[in-house]
Structure 1
Amino acid sequence: MFQPSSTTTRQSIETIERINNENIRLHDDIKRLRHSLKINEEENNSLQQQLEEIRNQMNNKDVEIKNFHKKLNELEQQLNEAHHNKQKQDEKFVNFDRQILFYRDENEKLTRELNLYKERLARLEELYRQLENQHNKYRQQTFTNDNNNNNNQRINPDYNYNSAMSLNIPTSREYGHFTLIKSRYSSSTMNTTNDNNTHSIPFTSDGSQNLSNQNNSPRSLNKMNDYINEKNCSSQFYAPPSRPLYSPIQVSSNRNRIDQMPVRDFNDNKIKQSEELEAKFDDLLNKKRDLESRINRIPIRGLTTADKQLLGLLEREIERVEQQISSVKLELRKMNILRTY
């Protein structure tokens, strides 16, 4: 009986020991697990802190991203404004270039017109010199023809030797006029004869001489004749020429006449016609420049129907003015005022 009980006791002791060992092991496991739990809690706390920090950083980054978006939008607006301003400046530069080209063309046109005016002035001066030389030649011919006419009137040769020679005997009026001038403008004396005795007395024209001196004078004139001669003296002595130097001469006995009035009229008409054509040419050029300036003032973009109609009308008007300018140029070239090239 004692044997089996001992075995049972031994088994129970072993079982108890085994349970104790198991409890010790479990207790150690519990301690280890508690320690690991503590460590995990600490790690969780640290991780939670890190998460909070990360959340704060994310919030800050979100704020920064929002600020960056705002700045980006502002920069985009500034970029659009700069692009719009650049387009406006480009349009202004294009308009400036067009104006520069227009002014350059106008300058070239004015230079060409100035050269044409210089050539025209040179041609007109040359034409004036030719007309002046021709006028001088005609005047010399007129003078020579006048001299020839005077010579022909003074000398009438008798080819048949049958005509009598005519003597130019002065009349009593002319002789009295001659003696009157001599007595008024000089201190000459007149000789009187009295029974072959010659003596000198001063001559006076106021009729203060006595009757014997009047009867013994070389000329016998009454008081009326002396008065007429004395009255007409100054007018005949200072008489201006009866005709201008350029007037045509009268018909001579040999029918030689040079009539320069038609030539003068022709030259005057030619000069007047050239001046009228030049004035018309200048008016047409000014009209063309005005039309071109009106076309340049029309905007390029956004043309309305009225602008298109006005543009077409101005272009047709410019074509018509150019045709008129070409016709006037042709007339001026025919008159040797413009060059033919």
Structure 2
Amino acid sequence: MMDNITVNVFVAVFKMGSFDLAATAAYVTVAFGILIYIFALCSNLLLLGIIAVNAPLHQPMYLLLFSLAFNDIAGVSAMIPPVVYNLMTEQRLTSFLACLFQALILHLYVGATFLILSAMAFDRYIAICHPLRYHAIMSKTTVIYILMLCCLINFLLVGSVFGLTLRHPFCSTHVSNFYCDNMSILRMTCAKDITINSLYGLFVTGVYHGLTLFSIVFSYTFILIACFRNKDSDARSKALYTCATHFLVFVVYECSAVVVVLVYRIPQSPLTLKKFMAMALVVFPSCLNPIIYGTKTKEINQKIKQIYKIFQRSALEKTRLNTVKTIAE
């Protein structure tokens, strides 16, 4: 970096890092990325649509699931389209505001996922351990307040992280990563000592992980106790099945995070693998969450089957009409 020259970020053009792929590999990556994005976008939009248009699903658990699907769309949209665009163009240029916006959305996505999963764990705890008081405690108003609190905490934590970064002047316009995040922006500043940024970043990460782990351990400990005390085997099985869906989503997200951390901590890991795995924290959960909830949640599964049957009947009717028209001609 050029320590004696500061950059006016609002007029400068920033150059993104590259994947360093051969032409054929780049084309395959672009095609694969587009397919993944279309799948993640369509599956999450389907989940949003099913919850939105079906009044019986306007319940706390599904409102939280609605928020999770919306958050997944925001995260995958902030990651894949810009990366695919940079792979398709040789210049790989962007503006500071576009880079900052992408970084903010990605960090807000990660934080919101932790907070929503925590809220969903609390919802399952109330539903199973205090079923008679569930509707009194977890009303729609309560869920809205919980989501508003999650948004406030998320904006404060992420905003403060970027506030510490943006207090420094910039000395470079080269983004070290192939997408923008707080660390890649911090590396472009003139800051020589980033100890405060690093420590506070670790603190914020600890808050997100600690809150989620506490809520999961606390909720599921009491849920398991309540289930084993319940003499009704059907009710016990239903409760465990419902919780298993949420727990599976949590495991997928945590496993993605752990794999990313391990890959970056192993010196022998190929650079290309590190770059691809950096996307895993956004791409994998965004693709798998709608599959998990679509197949494991009975009400949503039934709605998907109904939609499929409607399209199937429509296709059969169209085929029949075309056949009749052909015979008539």
Shorter-chain TM-score range: under 0.3
Greater relative contact order (Cα < 8 A, sep 6+) = 2
TM-score, scaled to structure 1: 0.23
Q: Which has the larger Rg?
A: 1
More helix by share: 2
TM-score, scaled to structure 2: 0.24
